[in-house]
Amino acid sequence: MHSLILIADDAPEMASTLDTCLTRNGFRTFQTNTSQAVLATHLNLKPDLVILDVRELCADTLETLARLRRQSDTPIVVMSACDLDGERLRALHAGADDYIVRPFNPDVVVARLLTMLRRSGALAPERRLRVGALEVDTEGYKVCVRTPSGETPVSVTLVEFRLLAHMARLPNRAFTRVELLNACMTDVSASTRTVDSHMTRLRKKLMAEGVSDILESVHGVGYRLQKSG
């Protein structure tokens, strides 16, 4: 089950954009638009993270932020169009864990949220990651293909394993080549072409075991593990 994020937004059109960004990256979301509602919803739903997306950091927002912080240690992110250090400090002093300025880069926002969720323990690593017939054992460093007749090991290199594990944590999400390069490769001479080479070899290995529809190229973006259904 993916992390639940509570979005409190005073502008419906902004909430829709943010919600689309998060759900596309595997998060579950719940939206509300008033201070009282977010406080009550926070107590009832117990989300893994709260986002306060506001036009300006007014007194009501700061009070809501402070009350949320008194309720629990749930990570709280403030989003605002105001790019002033003074506003950042006000939010952080009131209890926010991060302050993100609009307009934002969706990939950067997702990365920052994942970091906070990992630190809070809400994003506990899963040992076995499954995407369709593909299974990645993150502790045993093993990859296999599951079929009705059993499971077949797939021999992969360490880099290939890292690539599969990284993508399997968020199936259906398209990862850019640069993201995969930075997350999975330590060789300073590696490039996005290196990512392509590894993906070509991985696809051949999976196809040899009868799996041809999981590892997909996303034109103009990069790659993803496609979870059918």
Over range 118-141, report the average pLDDT. 82
Over range 200-229, report the average pLDDT. 90
Residues 172-211 as b/e (b if ≥16 CB within 10 A, e otherwise) read ebbbbbebbbeebbeeeebeeebbeebbeebbebbeebeb
Burial of 215 (0-12, 13-18, 19+ CB in 10 A): buried
Residue with more model confidence, 212 or 143: 143
Every domain of the chain with CATH number 1.10.10.10 lies at: 128-225
Every domain of the chain with CATH number 3.40.50.2300 lies at: 4-120
- Rounded Cα distance between 160 and 200, Å, is 10
- Rounded Cα distance between 81 and 49, Å, is 20
- Rounded Cα distance between 96 and 4, Å, is 18
Quick: pLDDT tens for 31-77.
Answer: 887 666 889 899 888 899 999 988 778 888 899 999 999 989 999 99
- Considering the chain, what percentage of its residues have pLDDT values greater than 70? 93
Over range 158-170, report the average pLDDT. 92
Over range 129-156, report the average pLDDT. 89
Domain 128-225: CATH architecture, name and number where available? Orthogonal Bundle (1.10)
The CA-to-CA distance between both ends of the chain, in Å, stands at 16
Q: Could you tell me which CATH class the domain 4-120 is placed in?
A: alpha beta
Whether 93 shows a pLDDT value over 70: the answer reads yes
Q: How far is CA 179 from CA 98, 185, 221, in A?
A: 22, 10, 10
Q: Are 201 and 160 in contact (CB under 8 A)?
A: yes
The predicted pLDDT at position 6 comes to 93
- For the chain, the average pLDDT equals 87
